[in-house]
Amino acid sequence: MGKKDTNSRFLIFIIGVSLLISCVRTSNNTKENGINTNRSIEEPPKSDRTTNGLSEIKNDERLDSLFLISPQGFILQHEENPSWESLYLFYEGGKLVNDGNLDYGNYYYRTGKWWLRNDSLYMVFEKLIFDRGVGKTIKVAPSCEFESGEKKEEYIMTIIDTTATLTFFWPDFKKMAIDKDNWDWQLYGSIGSSQPYSKYDLKLDGTFPELSTRKVDSAYLIKLKENNELSMARNEIYARYGYIFKNDELRKHFTSLDWYRPRYANVDSFLTEVEKWNIRKLLEMERN
């Protein structure tokens, strides 16, 4: 019995050692395989949509946090009524643009400046820019833009100097703008390269463009008279509309300018009220 018992114990010991060695080898192989598997998980393909989606969310959150400090570099969308939206673009250096419709055409826009002071956001618009219809009226298919089925033969860019102001309490305004459930103001996005300020910083041709944008004062007229420029300034208004001059001196002068395009024998119907007012004042000064 003692000898058999000893042999049995020895056999069990051998089997146990063999099993232990086998388990250790299996464990090592499993670890090596596990490390390789983990590497493939930690480095997913760059086309992984979930990862890109998370990056976009983080970027939005970052933009929102920047907007809490200042509106600079952002576009805000204002829902003026159920069918019309305005976009407000806040550029560096306090430049401001209000575009009536960026996505479907520039029906109108205003340019000006913005600034933050004493917990208030100030917006001051100084110029109104739009395409004004001139020439004959022609028939077109009725649409949301031309309900009557009529439109002008040609459209000319018009710039009017005018002042319009908006003031908001900044702490309340910024909360309203990033509130996703608010329908009045929404943080639309950041200004991109497709919307440079130069796109909106338009200027009229000529030496005296202000005669087409605002009613000039007496000091302005006196300066023109002192420089003997009253007649040239007045006729420049007509030249911007492509008037064909009969006077040889005027025709020669404006033909030498690269922006002048002679097209019409009469442009009286093209003139704005501001231009008509300035022409009357210029003529009065010329006659005195």
- Give dist(CA 152, CA 55) in Å, integer: 49
d(CA 66, CA 122): 18
**Which of 171, 199, 227 is at the close of a domain?**
199
pLDDT at 279 over 70: yes
* Same domain (yes/no): 133, 13: no
Assess whether 74 and 184 both reside in one domain. Answer: yes
In the chain, the number of structural domains is 3
CA distance 72 to 89: 8
83 and 195 in one domain? yes
Write down the pLDDT at residue 24.
Answer: 41
Instruction: Kindly tell me if the per-residue pLDDT of 34 is higher than 50.
Output: no
pLDDT at 237 over 90: yes
Check pLDDT > 60 for residue 38. Answer: no
Q: In the predicted model, what is the mean pLDDT of residues 176-190?
A: 88
Contact assessment for residue 214 and residue 161, using Cβ atoms and an 8 Å cutoff = yes
- Pairwise CA distance, residues 174 & 172, whole Å: 6
Do 155 and 75 belong to one domain? yes
Task: Check which CATH number belongs to the domain holding 242 and give it.
Answer: 1.20.58.1690
Find the domain containing 127 and state its range: 70-199
**Percent of the chain, pLDDT > 70?**
74
* Per-residue model confidence as pLDDT tens digits over 60-90: 566 678 899 999 999 999 886 656 778 999 9
Please tell me which residue, 143 or 48, carries the higher pLDDT value. 143
Whether residue 96 is found in the same domain as residue 179 = yes
Sorting pLDDT into bands at 50, 70 and 90, what band is 152? confident
Total length of the chain: 288
Q: How far apart are CA 236 and CA 254, in angstroms?
A: 8
- Residue 239: exposed, middle, or buried by beta-carbon count in 10 A (0-12, 13-18, 19+)? buried
Domain boundary among the residues 199, 232, 259 is at 199
pLDDT band at 50 (very low <50, low <70, confident <90, very high): very low
Task: Count the neighbouring beta carbons within 10 Å of the beta carbon of residue 257.
Answer: 13
Residues 88-112: tens digit of each pLDDT: 999 999 999 998 865 555 578 999 9
Residue 52 pLDDT > 50: no
The answer to whether residue 55 is domain-embedded is no
Find the helix or strand (DSSP H, E) in which 38 lies.
helix 2-42
What DSSP designation does 186 have? Answer: E
Q: Is the pTM of this model over 0.95?
A: no
| 125, two tokens | 């618009």
